[in-house]
Amino acid sequence: MLRKFLALAALTCAFAGGQALAATTQEEPAGPASGWSFSGPLGMYDQAQLQRGFKVYTEVCSQCHALSLISFGDLGAPGGPFYNPKYQNPNDNPVVKAVALGWPRKVADIDPDTGDATHRDSTTADAPAPPFPNEAAARASNGGALPPDMSLLVAAREGGPNYVYTVVQGYRPTPTRIQGAPAGKYYNIAYPGDLTSLLAKGDTQPAPIGGFISMPPPLTDCKVKFDDGSPCDVKHEAADIAAFLTWASDPKMEERKQTGLAVMAYLLVFSGLLYASYRRVWRNVAH
């Protein structure tokens, strides 16, 4: 009785924290029907998908979004899109080197001889050079909105990869009940918002779900063509970029889960041994 109550109380407390309800409404973020390769305790990244996702990032997202916490070298680290066991040091990985060198933007630097501001090619130690030199420039180019850095985007959104997957596909024509949609913004059913104030006067029905997002619809069918011949409709592009950004948020996931399995096995055996010792030590004590 006591045990059950305490366990229940502990569980309730533990999980209540994560369930703060949003007052805004939006489409419930859901992943692709086939699920994510990386979900569950044994799920790992699909390397080909990470490579496709990186291509989507390079050709589409990187026009506006920085990826400041990822260096090119990280792309070739274990668990990363271009990891190759032949190159334990990712800085030697030719694919990684080529990606760094071929990055469309140069890195802002100081010329060591003259001290002048200059731009140089990326090395594997660099993060992809960002699309805007600073926040003001980013806002000025995007109607006042700031495209968030994508390094932790999946970690920073309720629903994680499901949110990314849903929001890039969530664009719809603005519902006719909405009066005076904000200029330069796009109606998206997956973007959290509260549209009550935009309803026509006298409209007392619940407002449509979703909100207005500053990002124009980023993906169209086959906007990005994949070298491995994978389907390039919006659904697949969305899944690939969501997977890539999940990796960018959590690049150590594979190492974490693999270590976790070993730790669990160890702890289970160790607990078993301790229990056997406990039974043995206490065998002559009535308690």
Partner 1 sequence: MSGPSTYEPKTAIERWLDVRLPIIRFGADLMDFPTPKNLNYWYTFGGILAACLGVQIVTGVILGMHYVASGDEAFNSVQHIMRDVNYGWLIRYIHANGASMFFVAVYIHMLRGIYYGSFKAPRELLWLIGAAIYLVMMATAFMGYVLPWGQMSFWGAKVITNLFGALPVIGPALTSWLWGGFTVDAPTLNRFYSLHYLLPFVIAALVALHIWALHVPGNSNPTGVNVKSKSDTVPFHPYYTVKDGFAISVFLIMFAIFVFFMPEALGHVDNSVPANPLATPAHIVPEWYFLPYYAILRAIPDKLTGVLAMGTAILCIFILPWLDTSRVRSMRYRPQAKTYFFIFIVACAFLGYCGAHEPDDQIIPGLATFQLGDYAVNSSAWLSRIAAVYYFAYFLLITPLLGLRETPLPAPESISSPVLSHPAAAPGGAAAAPEKKG
Rounded (5°) CA angle 16-18-23: 95
Choosing from 32, 59, 69, 199, the residue that interacts with partner 1 (CB under 8 A) is: 69
Closer to partner 1 at the Cβ: 184 or 272? 272
d(CA 223, CA 56): 9
Binding part of the chain for partner 1, among 79-87, 137-145, 230-238, 279-287 by CB under 8 A, reads: 279-287
Q: Which amino acid is at 222?
A: C
Q: Does 278 bind partner 1 (CB under 8 A)?
A: yes
* Contact of 240 with 58, CB cutoff 8 Å: no
Binder of partner 1 out of 5, 85, 115, 227 (CB under 8 A): 5
Q: What is the footprint of partner 1 within residues 140-179 (CB under 8 A)?
A: 148, 151-152, 155-158, 160
Residue of 27, 234, 60, 253 lying closest to 150 (CA atoms)? 60
Distance spanning both ends of the chain, measured CA to CA: 20
60: tokens are 């589409």
Least Å from the CB of residue 32 to partner 1: 21
Residues 6+ apart with CB under 8 A from 49: 37, 239, 240, 243, 244
Which CB atom, from 4 or from 201, has the smaller least distance to partner 1? 4
Structure tokens that stand for 255 in this block = 């190492």
281 belongs to the binding site for partner 1 (CB under 8 A): yes
For CA atoms 114, 117, 118, 120, give the dihedral sign. Answer: positive
Q: How far, in Å, CA of 83 to CA of 79, rounded?
A: 7
Min separation Cβ 165 and partner 1, Å: 16
Site for partner 1 in 250-269 (CB under 8 A): 251-252, 255-257, 259-261, 263-264, 267-268
- Under the binding rule (CB under 8 A), the answer on residue 1 touching partner 1 is yes
Q: Give the residue, chosen from 27, 30, 35, 41, that forms a contact with partner 1 under the rule CB under 8 A.
A: 41
CA dihedral sign, ordered 147, 151, 157, 160: positive
Coil/strand/helix, residue 260? helix
Is residue 23 part of the contact set for partner 1 (CB under 8 A)? yes
Q: Which residues bind partner 1 (CB under 8 A)?
A: 1-3, 5-6, 8-10, 12-14, 16-24, 41, 69, 74, 148, 151-152, 155-158, 160, 192, 249, 251-252, 255-257, 259-261, 263-264, 267-268, 270-271, 274-275, 277-278, 281-282, 285-287
